[in-house]
Structure 1
Amino acid sequence: MYIKNFYTGLLAAGILLIAGCKKDKAAETTVFVSTSDVTEITSETAKAIGDVDLVGVEDITERGFVWATSAMPTTANEKVAAGSGKGNFSGQVTGLTSGNTYYLRAYVINQGEVYYGNQVQFDASTPLELIINGDFALPDDGVKYNLITDIPNWKSDETSEGLNGREYDYWRGSGAAYVNDWGKSIYQVVGDVPSSKSDYAISFDANWSWTDWGDYDPTIVVTFSAFTGDDPTTRTVIGTKVFANGYFPGWQDNWTKKTGTFSIPAGSPFTGQKLVIEFDVPTYDDGSSGWDPNMWFNFDNVSVIQTLK
């Protein structure tokens, strides 16, 4: 006969829970299992980490993770195997639904019996709006400002008054940002570049409110950049999304909805750096005379929604 004691818990915290026993005088085996916090959580997947240690003569023939939307999941729920033996192990949790709360436990199989570690809880990532005050309503929707930096959450490298800011749009009856193609972009710092793949759904209302000397075919550029430290002017471009407008007549009500997408791959070299999303109207060149028509552009209802994959 032999005695077999099984313990689960977080070793670092010193929590040991006796889960079951069998008697045998020949040997004594003690198994320790712990579940660490879940990491790299996206809307569909996550990374689970566990640890198992064994004192005695028996072997861990299988180890892995189980998870469910209800507490105390078992191997009858979703699971992923992660090898055998003792030591640290990890597994990829898949098939998650964005916004759901999940419960996860490490498990081991020893001598045909299944034992579980402590339970951890996590939420599958939900799509996140990154732009704050994208309707430019604050602090006072009807007031004109000659620099976008007077508007909460918005920034610019522009220092000359009048080249970007907020004005009242008579056709829409609300405030809207304006940018001149002679000036610099407007932007927001929206958090950090994630380690997992991230998709960005871009949406904004566009209007060419003024162009000198006729109709032109300008573009709008949305740039994703990253920087370290506290100075966003040191940012490095990750990539851009270019929006073509077609020929818009000057000084008229030309509002249209613009939508597009941008992605940053998993393991980007910019991971962990601060992320900047900026909106710009590049200086226009008609391709022949080099004449810059001096264009004024309006932005409103700016939105960038991030989804981690």
Structure 2
Amino acid sequence: MNKLKYIIGGILLLLAAGCEKDTEPTNFAPKLSTGEASEIYRVGATLSGSVQKSEGILVKECGILYSTIQSMAEYEEVKIAAEEAASFTVSLQNLTPGTTYYYCTYASSGRSIAKGEVKTFTTIANSAPLFNSLVLEAVDEQSITLSTTLKDEGGSEITVRGFCWKLSESDDEKEPTIADNMANVPLEQLVFTSKIKGLEPLKTYLVRAYAVNSIGVGYGETMTVQTKAATIPILAAITEVNSTPLSVTVESSVVSNGEMPIQEKGFCWSTENEEPTTAHIKKVVEGDDETFSLLIDELKPVTTYYIRAYATNALGTGYSETFTYETPLNFPDLDVTTVTEVKPTTAKAASVVISENGSEVTEKGFCLSKTVEEPIIENSKIVVPGTTAAYSVVLTNLESGTTYYIRSYATNSKGTGYGEVAEFTTAVDIGETIVSDITDTDASASAEILTTSDHLAITEKGFCYSSANAVPTVADTKKVSSKQGNDIAANLAGLTANTKYYICAYVVNEKGTYYGAVSEFTTQKGVTIGNTFVSDITQTSATASAEILSDAGREILEKGICYSATNPDPTYADKHVTSVAEGSLIAAAIEGLSSNLKCYVRGYVKNARGYHYGKVTSFVTPSEKAGEPIDLGLSVKWASWNVGASSVEEYGGLYGWGDPTGTATGNGPGVSAGGEISGTEYDIAQAKWVIAGECYESGNGRTAK
């Protein structure tokens, strides 16, 4: 019984041994070969091996075992497909930097495992960055687009990365480095890709990726790429020639016309599209020069502009690579200062903040100086409160007749910007114009220059006046003063009587013409004489009077009454009587008249400018008193006294035949008397006596009563 137990136990042991996994077979194992480790880097390596199977040997899986333990009591495995076992490579990743690893090839039948020779490698502690394969994404006449991925950053932060390239000029050309040309790829960009621009058509270039960390520069594999031949124009990269905060001058050149002549070239730009075309803003540059440039101005502050050169032939339009220009945050821009309402001690200044240039204006105003031609806020400033772009201020306490330099300023976070300098000179301070000795045609004017005249260099001074312009200037009537020093005086002549005038003093120097305050005056009326009144009229005399309404501001040398029996507009040259009445009254007795005489009379005044007359008035002296009619028993009654007498005691007048005036001295009748004069104009009784319808005779002739 015990013997049977031993037999059964032995069988069970054999069965147990046959079921154990991963034991190395002692017979019929495949031939295993462990290759050398390659491409060892900080966190990975490439391992190789081979599994040679004999006929009838079962291999269910194979690959590489690796471990950090030399005995490989514990290990990791990398499996490969059995059909690839003849020769294979595997890539280990996520290894520990600076660590020694042990590895070997293995094969397993599913019940047992065979191992090849154990070899070793050590990962790199730190290294330059490593790359995976380089991929050519696109190529054209002037550019190559590439991409890659980082295999390992090398254990420290990458500071710069991108692609480097150079033109291949021979078969044994060395690989490109960062000492050649570079196109950096921003670190924040997720995809490691770049478009290498500005290349020449139909040229061969060597290109590879690079990255820099604290260890050094790591490079990827080198690729040889040929650009395409050009059909449309090819343009060089844009270069910046000059720039200001709001403008930039760019330059490019035609590398190749393509297969046809160029029809047009220039620049196009956009603030939104990073590859602008001629459909955006464009400016044509005339001329046939290969190199051409353009000033692009009136840009907006703190704005990115994308600019490309272009050239067009019959086959299409070619563009340069995009040039990016970002207008900076800058000082505020201001308009020129305008100065108005300039007076001796005040003036008004105004300006406008054209642009804040990306930063809010915190202060604005004006800089003012008498001595500094480009004043700044450190010299003198006048702060103007408020937030509006346009602003102004009244400057006070200025010195009269003085030149000032002024310009606007505004301050933002970037600094202080200034407008153009304006120059102005305060007005010369001229006192009030005083007008005196006003007549109908003349006046005297005087004024004083209140500003110290030492620095004025006055070339002319005087008065300007007008009856129509309430603010007269030298363009109106002017009278130059010959007075010396600060006095201004002149006599005005040729004025119009009874007219209101506006007058002011003026001063001229090299800075301009300055005016004093405007005064007003009204010329006197011309000599005016009122109506003439006649009283106390007798057959031989009368009293005439009138009033002088205006003497025109001139001295009266003589006044009186002029009269005439024949001139309806009597003058001094006719008969006149001088008046000795005081004041404005004219009064005089006219004597030596005759009865029934019509007389024309008016007042007159004489001054330095001549004779002046009033309106004409006429009067008639009364007829003589007829004698009492006496009936002598004749056919008519006779007068009781002669013509010219007023009583029987008087002799009467002496009248010639047919002369009712009593002035004819000849013996015969008047020339026009004729023969029969009774009842005619030549009848003395008819002329001198008129007694209601009754006719009677006098010693001198017949009359009617």
- For CA contacts below 8 A with separation 6 or more, give which structure has more relative contact order: 1
TM interval, shorter chain, is 0.3 to 0.5
Between structure 1 and structure 2, the one with the greater Rg is: 2
TM-score under structure 1 length normalisation: 0.46
The answer to which structure has the higher strand fraction is: 1
